[in-house]
Amino acid sequence: MSGIKQLANQTAWYGLSNIIGRFINYLLTPLLTSIYAPAAFGDISLLFAIAAFLNIIYTYGMETSYFRFIQLEDEKKVFNNAFSCLLLTTLVFSVLLILPASSTAAYLQLNGHKEYIVFVIGIVALDTLAVLPFSKLRHEGRPQKFAVIKITNILINVLLVVFFLQICKPAFENGQKNIWANCYNPSIGIGYVFVAQLMASGCTILLLQKELRTFQFKIDTPLIKDIFMYSSPLIIVGFGGMINETIDRLMIVQRFDGTVEAAKAANGIYSANNKLAILIVIFIQTFRMGAEPFFFKTSSKEDAKITYARIMNLFVIACCCCFLAVVLFLDIWKYFMGVHKNPGYAEGLFIVPLLMVSKIFLGIYYNLSIWYKLTNKNMMGAIITIIGAAITIAVNYLFIPSMGYFASAIANLACYGMMMIISFWLGNKYYPIPYQWKKSLGYLVLAYLFYLLHHVMRSQSTDLMNVHLFGIGLLLCFVVIILRTEKEEFKKIPYLNKIYAGK
């Protein structure tokens, strides 16, 4: 039980940083959507989607490789060699990508703003150099420092965006002759969003200087070869994962049946509604922060598989609660998209439940993927991801012209659902874990049925107060069912066992 308790404790810290940080960063969405029309917001989303792609190329699975190889080699040796490789490749990749910046900007229809490409590359480069120092903190069990630095990064980013767009921009447009107006250049436009992130990423490197202070440039050829053998399939896994998460933005712009502005607007609406899956995305990312090093450390214990199964069950329960907390209250969450100033964003609310279910499938897949990482069958993980990417591309390509961004939501669901099923099947063959899959499936079905029940009630009532009260009742009902069904499991968890003991 101590292992799960430790994972829960660390996940709580990672969750604190993720939730607070994401919430602070999430406040940018209504700010940006109130300033920029859907087309401009679509450009911002597209460029950050490209940054996500580049992150995979720049890091090429080195984070997971670090956790794997420190179980086999001296940690300092692994860190020095891995960081040396990242340092060299980051420099090479950045130069190669900056040179054709003008052509890239033209292809992405950014109206000649090649500086946007340079800003994005700078952000990716700095974030890449922070990956292993952050991994070091996770390995050493220092989630508090991890959380402080992550939150600081986001605070700096948000404050700079507010400074440029809420102080400097109005000062310039109002013709003021002061230092604030001089800090704003209208030709940069949405570029200030990237400038703010670039400066925040630079500050993060400074905050990680203690973890970097002992770094020594080392290239141990045999070790590097082993690391690359292990991590190379993870490049495909990561790249395919980013295709599944971000290619829809690019394909909406390219395949939408309409004008360029209409396509950008559709992309902006889709991207803004995609952000409403924030609770599940936060939870999944938070879980991965603590779970990845935990799974590797636990793998040598006799009861490791039992522990993995219990964690999966608890994970699905938490995802279902997050799902209901969003879909039952979409009339509230929609205001975080700035619908009071740009009502057009609200027309995409119907895709949110599908997107959230797809994120749950993705989270389950992340849990299941431990089998190929522990058995050194990363190439099979790459094949699963390629299948998912093929589904994503095919569905988007074929159906965006007729279905618009709804096709992208369907593609997400089909992709992650198939990846989850294939990974579960192969995992049972190569590394069988006694997952309580019938129970987990039951929770998922029950949560979605509660959503459908609420949706029917919502469509027949104009009294939002009653609608929200009904939503609260359904959420509480789901929690009570879980507490009764999982009574024996929850009794094993500190704090929760006290609740049952008090009954």
Q: What is the pLDDT along the chain (503 residues), one digit of tens a residue?
A: 445 555 666 666 665 665 666 566 666 766 777 777 777 777 787 888 788 778 888 988 888 888 888 877 888 999 999 999 999 999 999 999 999 988 988 888 887 788 989 999 999 999 999 999 998 988 887 878 888 898 898 889 889 988 988 888 888 888 887 888 888 888 888 888 889 999 999 999 999 999 998 899 998 989 988 888 888 887 788 777 778 877 888 888 888 888 888 888 888 888 888 878 766 777 777 777 767 777 877 777 788 888 889 889 989 998 999 899 999 998 888 777 666 667 777 888 889 999 999 999 999 998 898 888 888 888 898 899 899 999 999 999 999 999 989 999 999 999 999 999 999 999 999 999 999 999 999 999 999 999 999 999 988 877 888 888 999 999 999 999 998 898 877 776 655 565 555 55
Which pair of structure tokens corresponds to residue 431?
Answer: 């590394």
pLDDT of 1:
44
| Residue-by-residue DSSP string for 188-206 | TTTHHHHHHHHHHHHHHHH
As to burial, measured by CB atoms within 10 angstroms (0-12 exposed, 13-18 middle, 19+ buried), residue 312 is: buried
**What residue has token string 């029309």?**
37
Among 314, 308, 319, residue whose Cα is nearest residue 434: 308
User: pLDDT value at position 78?
Assistant: 92
Q: How far apart are CA 238 and CA 243, in angstroms?
A: 9
The closest of 495, 501, 498, 500 to 8, measured between CA atoms, is 495
Give the integer Cα–Cα distance in Å for 61 and 65: 6
Asked if 395 contacts 410 with a C-beta cutoff of 8 angstroms, the reply is yes
Q: Are 440 and 312 in contact (CB under 8 A)?
A: yes
pLDDT at 21: 61
Q: Is the model's pTM score more than 0.85?
A: no
Count how many Cα atoms sit within 13 Å of the Cα of residue 472 in the half-sphere of its side chain.
7
- Provide the pLDDT for residue 108: 82
Q: pLDDT value at position 398?
A: 95
Q: What is the pLDDT of residue 62?
A: 87
* Angle 302-307-310 from CA coordinates, rounded to 5°: 150
**Do residues 205 and 126 touch, judged by C-beta distance below 8 A?**
yes
CA of 374: how far to CAs of 112, 284, 305, 381, in Å? 47, 20, 12, 11
Q: Give Cα separations from 68 to 235, 242, 259, 298 (angstroms).
A: 15, 22, 49, 12
181 within 8 A of 172, measured Cβ to Cβ: yes
